[in-house]
Structure 1
Amino acid sequence: MHENKNALLESAMRAGYGARGFVYLVIGALAVFAAVNGGEAEGSTGALNYLSRQPFGVVMVSAVAAGLFGYALWRFADAAFDLDDEGSDARGLGARFGQFLSGASHAFLGATATAIAIKGTQSEDNSAANWSAAVMGEPMGRILVMVAGGVTLGVGVYLFYKSWNATYRREIRRTTWTERLAPFVRFGLVAHGFVLLIIGGAILYAGWSVNPEHAKGVGEALAILETRPFGRILLGVTGAGLAAFSIYCFVQARYRLSPQLRAGDLPTLAT
């Protein structure tokens, strides 16, 4: 039974990382296209809408939705049972809370993908502002929004650290391909961390100012970049970085080793 549970979680993890990578590949490609040809970059909902309009779009979006729910399941289990051996000290609990939030955000994105597969194109309203407004309406909602912003900032900083020190190598199986793709993985982690710093700062400010309209998601963060000096260059580089982050997700989908799910003593990039 224990082995069956591990197999289920590992399958959910790999499908989830694959679906996540597919979404970021589309986001990154559309951002690069917008930087080169003009127009607006898209966030997660925009990327899913774009997929739904392609041949076999409903099938693709449905598969992505299933993968995103798998990723959410994996992250919830990861946070609850400490499958990555983060520990129970302050740092470990912070990491596991971040895993829980990641699971929640991808469950929401999976629900959005499901709605698009069933009903077609969905509104691209600022979902970050919508959920911030909903949370602020609850007791201690403002504090919760600020905590979410602070955690998002922390994850962004952590991704910079993860890239700089290549700590991701401890969780990736050593192969010729993972060695070759390492530069793209590190670039992708930096780009995603950069976008999360914008999002986290905006959410933190939304809670501080008690104005949910200040909260931003991926699409709005990319739109902010486009309005800065040399904005199209900045947008193009960031879009290429998010496409590189999709490579990180695909590498995780194929080669990730979780301490509690690992079968045997396989060598990692860090060994």
Structure 2
Amino acid sequence: MDKRVKQTARAGYISKGAVYAITGILAFGAAAGLGSQSKGKLGVLEFLQNQPFGNVILGVLALGLLCYAFWRFYQSIKDPENIGSDAKGKGKRVGFFFSGLVYLGLAGFSAFQIFRDTGGGQQSGGGGGASSMLPQEVVPYVFYAIAIGLAIKSVFQFVKAYKGDFLDKFYLESYSNIDTRKTIKWLGYAGLISRGVVVGIVSYFFFRAADGAGSEDVKGTAEAFSFLQESSGPWLMGLVALGLICYGAYMFIMAKYRKFKDASGR
């Protein structure tokens, strides 16, 4: 695989890790009573923009997310690691493509935030949610499709953690340091399980919104944390937040230690 593609993928993993780690930190602070509210991915981008040199930070993060989106599209279309074209392989590659779309959207939102903050854009006064752009009779089916997709993604996170096949990307036997092996394993397990919990709750919100045929019940990551806190108290929310911090750290480890297998199998 081309060295530049690998470097692009590693930059993407770092940016994705930053988004998840900051999401987890803000949510943990909210659970501990140190902040007013938790924030989802979009809220994290806005939070970063409000920091000193926020637009610079946001611009770097946007480039990194763009790198991650490119890597996902590259995996989906070029199949550099020979995932295959059987049913399982196609399913994975389709998943990579949609993952690329999500992170391309995050990168675009980051760029929009910078553009708006520097006076290049104006906020429109009216307009509703995304669902108002669709015929009302179609909205429930769109929400059901999103809910099912998120539910599958949630289950996939748990299955991935249960099987432990995510560790295959690291070739752990090549590392002599046992602490490195343990760190990779446990950060991966904690992160995948926590991510599965949060995505599952967001899926539930979309199912509920589909039943009501409206957008008022559509929630994101921040509301998923609020749901956890309200239904189970701050302890479970804090544990899940710590798990997402672990997932962010796991992405950083992916950037450093992940092995890229060539299509030839090497």
TM-score, normalised to structure 1, is 0.82
The alignment status of 1:93 with 2:90, answered yes or no, reads yes
Aligned to 1:10: 6
For 1:117 and 1:103, the matched residues in 2 are separated by: 21
Provide the aligned C-alpha RMSD in A.
2.7
- Residue-by-residue CA offset, 1:13-45 (whole Å, 9 max, x unaligned): 111110010011111001111111152111112
Aligned to 1:76: 73
- Residue-by-residue CA offset, 1:116-159 (whole Å, 9 max, x unaligned): 233349xxxxxxx944554x449966544423321221111111
Aligned to 1:193: 196
Distance 1:98 1:202, change over 3 A: farther
Aligned to 1:202: 205
Distance 1:115 1:199, change over 3 A: same
Distance 1:63 1:229, change over 3 A: same
**Paired residues for 1:1-271 under 5 Å:** 6-37=2-33, 39-120=36-117, 130-134=129-133, 136-137=134-135, 142-174=140-172, 175=175, 176=177, 178-181=180-183, 182-230=185-233, 232-260=234-262, 265=266
Contact 2:62/2:107 (CA < 8 Å) preserved in 1? yes
For 1:25 and 1:53, the matched residues in 2 are separated by: 17
Aligned to 1:124: none
For 1:168 and 1:24, the matched residues in 2 are separated by: 18
Contact 1:29/1:243 (CA < 8 Å) preserved in 2? yes
For 2:95 and 2:23, the matched residues in 1 are separated by: 22
Contact 2:17/2:252 (CA < 8 Å) preserved in 1? yes
Contact 1:156/1:196 (CA < 8 Å) preserved in 2? yes
Structure 2 gaps of 5+ residues are: 119-127
Distance 1:259 1:143, change over 3 A: farther
What amino acid does structure 2 have at the position aligned with 1:30? L
Contact 1:188/1:242 (CA < 8 Å) preserved in 2? yes
- Residue-by-residue CA offset, 1:153-204 (whole Å, 9 max, x unaligned): 1111111111122111111243336413121221011001111111123224
Q: How many residues align?
A: 252
For 2:261 and 2:65, the matched residues in 1 are separated by: 22
Structure 1 vs Structure 2: percent identity of aligned residues? 28
Structure 1 gaps of 5+ residues are: 122-128, 266-271
For 1:258 and 1:19, the matched residues in 2 are separated by: 18
Distance 1:205 1:49, change over 3 A: same
